[in-house]
Amino acid sequence: MSSQSEHSRSTSISSRPSAFLWQYVCRRRIAFGGLFTLMIGGAACAVAVQYAMKLLVDAMASQDRLAANVWVPFGFFIGLIAMENVLWRTGGWLGCRTIVKTGVDLRIDLFEHLTGHPMRYFKEHFSGALGNRINQTGTAVANIFTALTWRIIPPCTDFLGAVVVLLTIQWRMALVLVAFVLLVALVITGFGIRGRYRHQAFAEQASRVGGEVVDMVSNVWTIKAFSARERERDRLARELGVEARAQRRSWMYVEKARILHDACLTLMAGSMLIWAILLWRQGSVTPGDVVVVSALTFRILHGSRDLALALVDTAQQFGIVADTLKIIAKPHEIKDLEGAGTLKAQAGAIDFENITFSYPNGQKVIDQLTLHIPAGQKVGIVGTSGAGKSTLINLLQRLDDVDGGRILIDGQPINEVSQDSLRAAIAVVPQEIALFNRTIRENIRYGKPGATDEEVYQAACHAYCDHFIQHLPEGYNTMVGERGACLSGGQRQRLGIARAFLKGSPILILDEATSALDTHSEKEIQLALTELVRGRTVLAVAHRLSTVANFDRVIVMDKGRIVEDGPPAALRRSGGLFESLWNIQATALEENETLPQRNVG
């Protein structure tokens, strides 16, 4: 089955670990069914080998050694060993393919579900911890399936096989074995369940520490700038100390389970063997029977030890899975309607119809806002901090859903179309450009994966970044580093602009798109915008009001409402909030230009 077909089905994530794992077993039911069958067959052969050994010993115990037929049980014995090896090796091959593919599938599904959460979700959780959880869950699920296949199914099969064999020797032994193993299983399982919270606490703290480390590494400049290396080392040491204590509690609980199990199984093995010897002395069983009872008892002893440890370890792994699902598998707050259509955005007209929006804590951000933006119009959005500017463009992209009213693009309500088709119609240049640790060419092409190299070069030229790219050691094949760390802020901003231009969407959102550029570069970008925004609807959130000075229209927001709306030239003479903000910025600029330079040093 191809990867594409495997992932074309629904990827809804269950929040219960058992149901989460079961859906992946069902996805490859034939492979898992074959794997479990092979393991059961291999374990059954191992038990049958013990019975073949009994037949061989009984044949060799015959009084007439020359007449004794030892070769038939010998052939049976060797044949079972060969079959056991074939089944185990085939199971290893199938298990490798099945479990590894399942690990890939579930990590892809977790990532897909994670990226469906609203943006505020990512502000509430460490990005490093989220990434660690996905990887840890992939490892945990692989460990669970591995334990189930090689450490849980075989001992259970051994036990059932031993019961069958003992029924042929002494049925009372079989009943006692069943009762004893069930009692031990109940005790160990109950003990393991009681300690599950310890394993989950360790998993939670391990994820937290992983997130802390990523956060510190990503802010290493700040650590250096504030001479905080020792402080951060002490902070990390405290967090690691908490993790170590949680790990010790989890580990020692496992050791207690092992001690309890060993005591129970040693008592069982000794009792069964003494019983078999007494029966032999009475002449009720043969020497071969004593051998098989001894062999099966010790096999169950070791197998049940592995089983008990596997169950405890699996409980730990389930704790990791449960911790991840508790955080990541939450239902999406923003969902596509069932049967949602595709946005057919041609002109790019936008309508906000009496929309309202509040944060989850009840704070109102947008209040009864109505706005019509004709197709192809360039609109600046300005206002004081907290006025609702960024929230407005987030709502347009459905990064959040409105509480009331509706938003339309070319007459189509955006909540009735798929989120992907909506965002495909919108190109965005945010205030802080996020780049992948890939080549410059790949980062620009991210806006249009099928773009040719020539289209990439043209977009770079329009964004005035081709010149600096050509002077890099590898040109367009230069790796930009994590989050673009190898480039300056202005260079990153230009690549983001080039990426948005290449996308070619009818709607363009600029969120302080020129904030990281110097005055000369900003003028170059404005010239590029004059050419490239023709025929496109542009919304620009701007604190630097000169950015929107040549726009068709400016709306001024205050406390979630539009308080001014009109051409920028007219608003500069209106005596309102826009004129006040303009004069403040103009005065600040004049003071900076006339400020006398001080000689330092």
Count helices and strands (H / E) in the chain: 21, 10
Q: Which tens digits make up the pLDDT trace of 133-184?
A: 888 899 999 999 998 898 888 888 888 887 888 777 777 777 877 777 777 7
DSSP 114-151: HTTS-HHHHHHS-HHHHHHHHHHHHHHHHHHHHHIIII
Assign 64 to helix, strand or coil. Answer: coil
| Per-residue burial over 490-509, b = 16 or more CB atoms within 10 Å of its CB, e = otherwise | bbbbbbbbbbbbbbebbbbb
pLDDT at position 601 is 36
Quick one: 350-592 is in which CATH superfamily?
P-loop containing nucleotide triphosphate hydrolases (3.40.50.300)
- Most distant CA atoms of the chain, gap in Å: 123
Give, in degrees to the nearest 5, the angle at Cα 162 between 161 and 168. Answer: 100
**Closest residue by Cα to residue 53 from 288, 305, 316, 403:** 288
> Cα separations (Å) of 302 from 40, 145, 188?
17, 20, 15
- 293/289 Cα distance (integer angstroms): 6
Spans of the chain, pLDDT less than 50: 1-10, 595, 598-601
Could you tell me if 90 and 38 are in contact, meaning their C-beta atoms sit under 8 angstroms apart? yes
Residue 450 makes CB contacts below 8 A (sequence gap 6+) with: none
> Cα separations (Å) of 459 from 444, 477, 509, 518, 549?
8, 16, 17, 20, 24
Give, in degrees to the nearest 5, the angle at Cα 121 between 119 and 124. Answer: 120
Could you tell me if 159 and 181 are in contact, meaning their C-beta atoms sit under 8 angstroms apart? yes
For helices 171-194 and 287-328, the axis angle rounded to 10 degrees is 20
Backbone angles phi, psi at 126, to 5 degrees: -60, 130
pLDDT at position 202 is 80
- 248/229 Cα distance (integer angstroms): 28
* Residue 117 DSSP symbol: S
- 316/251 Cα distance (integer angstroms): 10
Ordered by start, the domain boundaries in the chain are 14-328, 350-592
HSE-up (13 A, CA, CB side) for residue 152 = 16
- 307/303 Cα distance (integer angstroms): 6
> Cα separations (Å) of 157 from 142, 202, 303?
22, 32, 10
Could you tell me if 32 and 130 are in contact, meaning their C-beta atoms sit under 8 angstroms apart? no
- 352/376 Cα distance (integer angstroms): 16
Q: At 212, list the tokens.
A: 């802390």
Centroid of chain to Cα 73: 55
Architecture of domain 14-328: Up-down Bundle (1.20)
Q: At 558, list the tokens.
A: 């205050």
- 133/320 Cα distance (integer angstroms): 8
* Residue 170 DSSP symbol: -
- 265/155 Cα distance (integer angstroms): 13
- 100/106 Cα distance (integer angstroms): 10
Backbone angles phi, psi at 12, to 5 degrees: -65, 140
| Look-up of token digits 């004081």 | 384
Q: At 541, list the tokens.
A: 């959130």
Q: Which tens digits make up the pLDDT trace of 409-463?
A: 999 999 999 988 998 899 888 877 888 888 989 999 988 888 899 999 988 888 8
Tell me how long the chain is.
601
